[in-house]
Amino acid sequence: MADGPAPKSKKKTAKKPAAKTAKPAAAAPKPEAPPSIDASTLSYAEAVSMLPPEQREMIEKLSSNLARAAVTAQGAIAEAALRQAERPPALNPDPFHVTPALTEVMGKLAAQPDKLLRAQANLFSGYLDLWQAATERLAGAEPRAVVEPPRGDKRFNDPEWTSEPVFDVMKQSYLLTSNWLTTLVSDVENVEPMTKRRVEFVTKMLTDAFSPSNFLLSNPAALREVIATKGESLVRGMEHFAADLEKGGGQLSISQTDSTPFKVGENIATAPGKVIFQNDILQLLQFDPATEQVHEIPLLIFPPWINKWYILDLRVENSMIRWLTAQGYSVFVASWVNPDEHQAAKTFEDYMFEGVYEATAKVMEQAGTDKVNTVGYCIGGTLLSVSLAHMAAKGDKRINSATFFAAQQDFTEAGDLLLFTNDDWVDDVERRMDAEGGFLPSQNMADTFNSLRANDLIWSFFVNNYLLGKEPKPFDLLFWNSDQTRMPKTLHLTYLREFYGRNRLARGDLEMGGVKLDMSKIKAPVMIQSSKDDHISPYRSVYRGAKLFGGPTTFLMAGSGHIAGVINHPDAKKYQHWTNEALPDTVEEWIEGAVEHPGSWWNYWDKWLSAKSGGKVPARDPAKGKLKPLEDAPGSFVKVKS
C-alpha cells in the first residue's frame, strides 16, 4: 500500500515582547447599595416611621381621629340597641304596607316580559353610552353628560361630581339606575293607581337612600373635609350622630337646625298682644293694633294644630300678624293646645264646638260685633269648612267671610299623604297612639312629613351633620318645623279615616253635630289660596275643594310651596301669583285663563278682605276689652314642648 503525501511542517515564529502599559490608578470604592426593603414585611408603624415628619404627623392624626370616630359611633349604636331592646317589638315589619302593592306590581311586570326586556335594553344602552363618554374623556375629549340630575337636585352641586371622572361616572351610573327603576314601576300597566303610587314612593325612598352622596367614600366633599381636618370632621360627625340618637331616645332624630338662638316670645313670635280666653284646646290671642283706626269686622285665624301658629309671626320682617295689623285689621289667632293623654278623647266635633264656635263667639264679644271674618290654614281650613257647613245647616251666619290657606275639602287628589292613610296604616297609627297613652308623638308626624321630601329634609342634613361634621345652621323656619305637636287619638283618627281615607266631606255624607254637612249650602264669600309647588295640599286638590262652595268663590295660586307660598311678605318681592276671576270646571282651564303677577299675593287678598270688613272704628286695645287678659302673647300653650 502506497504511503500518502508527507505532512507539511509548521513554521515557528518568534514572539514579540508585550508592550509596556501604564499601571491603572486604583478605582474609588463604590458606595454600598442600601439593603432592599420588602414592603410586605413592614408593619404599619414601621412604614409610617419612614415618612417625612409632616406626612407622618398627618397620618398619625388621621388614624387617631378615625379610631375615635369609630368608637363614638359604635358606642352610640350599642346604647341605641339597648334602648330598643327595652321597647316592645315593632308594630309592623312593613310600616308602609308596601309588600302587597310591590307583589302586585312585580307580578304585572313578570306578565309583561317584552316591557321588561325593553327596559333592560334601555338600561344597557345607557351604560354603554356612559362608558363610551368616559372613554372619550380619558382620551382627551370634553366631558359629556349622558344623564343629568333633575332640576333643583342639590346632592351633586359639588364641582368634583363633574370635574373628577371617577365621581362623574359614579353620579351618572346612579342616576341611570335610579331613573330606570322609577320608570320601570311607573310604566307598569293594569295596576290600581294608588297601588302604583305606593310602590313608586317606596322605590324613590330607596333610591334616594342609596345615592352615592350619602356615603363617605363616594362623596368628594366629605372626603376633602376628612383630609383637610385630619379626620376631625368625622369625629364631629359621629358626635352629632350620637347626640341625635340620644335626643331621639334610641331612634335617630336628625337635627335640621341649631335651635339655641331662638326663644319663642323673645325673638320668635314677638307681635305684642294678649291671651283673652282659654279652654281645654286653645288659647285665643288678640294682637295690639298698629293703626289708630281699624276695620269694624275683626279677623280670626285658625292655624293647623299639626304645627304651632307662630309660622304667622316668625320675624318682624316677615310676620303676617304684624302686616295685617298694619293694614288696619283687628287680628285674633287660635293657639291650639299641644295635647297629651288628657285630650285623647277630644273629637273633631269638640274642635268644631270648643274651637271654631267658642272662639268666634269670644271674638265677637270682645270686638262688639255680630260677625267675624275668618282664615283657615291647612287642617285648620278643613275644620273651618266643616264648621261653615254646620253653621249653614243651622242658619248661623256669624262668619262673614272665609279665607283658606293651602286647605283641602276634597281629598281625591291630596298628594302623597294619601299613601299614609289606607286602613292598614291607620290601624298601625291607632295601635301606636294606644301604646303612648292616647296621642301620637310629635316625632311620628315629623318623620311622615320629612319622608315626603327626603332629599331636602333628611339626607341633606345626614350629609351635612354626619359626613361633613358641620353644625346645622340656625334657621327660624326649620326651628318652627322641628317644634312639632302631638296629635290626640280620636281627633286624628277621624281626620285620617273620614277625610283622607273616605273623603266624606266632599261626598256630602259626613255628619257632625247631628247634621249632615253640605258644602254647597255655604253662601259666605270665600277666597281659596293654593301654591304651585305645594306637596302637602296640591293645587289640584285645593281647586276641587273650591268647586264645592255654594257662594262667591275666588281662587288664586301663589308661587312656591306649602309654607313659602303662604308666608311671603310683599316687602320680600319674591315669587309670583296668578289670579283669574272665573272658576271654570277644571284647574287646567283656570290656569289657561289666569294672569301672572310678580311678588306676594297678600295685597290682592287685602283688597278682597278690606271690602268685606266694614267701616273704620277706633283701634281695639286687647288690654281694655270686655274679656280680661290672662297673659301676654304668645301665651303659654305655644311654649309647651313635645
pLDDT value of residue 412: 94
pLDDT for 379 equals 97
Burial of 35 (0-12, 13-18, 19+ CB in 10 A): exposed
pLDDT of residue 522: 98
Q: Which residue has the higher pLDDT, 453 or 3?
A: 453
User: Thinking of the domain 273-417+486-639, which architecture would CATH place it in?
Assistant: 3-Layer(aba) Sandwich (3.40)
Q: Is the pLDDT of residue 16 over 60?
A: no
pLDDT at 92: 60
- The answer to whether 222 and 462 have CB atoms below 8 angstroms apart is no
Band the pLDDT of 88: cuts 50, 70, 90.
Answer: low
| Torsion sign over Cα 356, 359, 362, 368 | negative
416 has pLDDT over 60: yes
Residue 69: the pLDDT is: 87
The C-alpha cell 339597648 sits at 82
Q: How far is CA 614 from the centre of its chain?
A: 41
pLDDT band at 45 (very low <50, low <70, confident <90, very high): low
Q: What is residue 404's predicted lDDT score, i.e. its pLDDT?
A: 98
pLDDT for the residue 10 = 42
Whole-number Å distance between alpha carbons of 299 and 609: 9
Question: Is-catalytic flag, 431?
Answer: no
Q: What ranges do the domains of the chain cover? A: 99-210, 273-417+486-639
Helix, strand, or coil here: 209?
helix
| Arithmetic mean of pLDDT, 78-83 | 77
Q: Looking at mean pLDDT, say which of 10-19, 179-188, 590-599 comes out highest.
A: 590-599
12 or 215, greater pLDDT: 215
pLDDT at residue 598, rounded to an integer: 97
Contact 109, 184 (CB under 8 A): yes
Distance CA 115, CA 109 (A): 8
Average pLDDT over residues 248-253: 85
Residue 34 has pLDDT above 70, yes or no: no
pLDDT band at 95 (very low <50, low <70, confident <90, very high): low
Q: 385, 413 in Cβ contact below 8 A? A: no
Q: Is the dihedral of CA 590, 594, 600, 606 positive or negative?
A: negative
Mean pLDDT score, 128-136: 94
Residue 17 pLDDT > 50: no
- Better pLDDT: 586 or 99: 586
The β-bridge relationship of strands 526-531 and 399-405 is parallel
Does pTM top 0.85 for this prediction?
Answer: yes
- Computed over every residue of the chain, the mean pLDDT equals 90
Neighbours of 456 (CB within 10 A): 15
Q: Write phi, then psi, for 285 (nearest 5 degrees).
A: -100, 135
Q: What is the pLDDT of residues 602-626, one digit of tens each?
A: 999 999 999 999 999 999 999 999 9
d(CA 532, CA 543): 11
Cβ contact 579:547 at 8 Å? no
The residue type of 381 is G
pLDDT score of 39 more than 60: no
**Which of 378, 487, 496, 563 is flagged as catalytic?**
378
- Helices and strands in the chain, H and E counts: 23, 17
Listed in sequence order, the DSSP H helices in 331-463 are 348-350, 358-367, 379-394, 423-436, 442-452, 454, 460-462
Lowest-pLDDT choice from 101-110, 529-538, 631-640: 101-110
β-bridge mates for residue 555, sequence order: 528, 580
pLDDT tens digits for range 173-220: 999 999 999 999 998 888 888 888 889 999 999 999 999 999 999 999
pLDDT given for residue 57 in this prediction: 75
Give me the mean pLDDT over the 461-465 stretch: 96
Alpha carbon 197 to its chain's center: 19
What whole-number distance in Å separates Cα of residue 468 and Cα of residue 526? 49
- Compute the C-alpha angle 131/114/211, nearest 5°: 40
Average pLDDT over residues 306-311: 95
Q: How do residues 389-413 score in pLDDT, each as one tens digit?
A: 999 999 999 999 999 999 999 999 9
Helix H, strand E, coil C: the string for 545-602 is: HHCCCCCCEEEEEECCCCCCCCCCCHHHCCCEEEEECCCCCCHHHHHHCCEEEECCCH
Quick check: 435 pLDDT over 70? yes
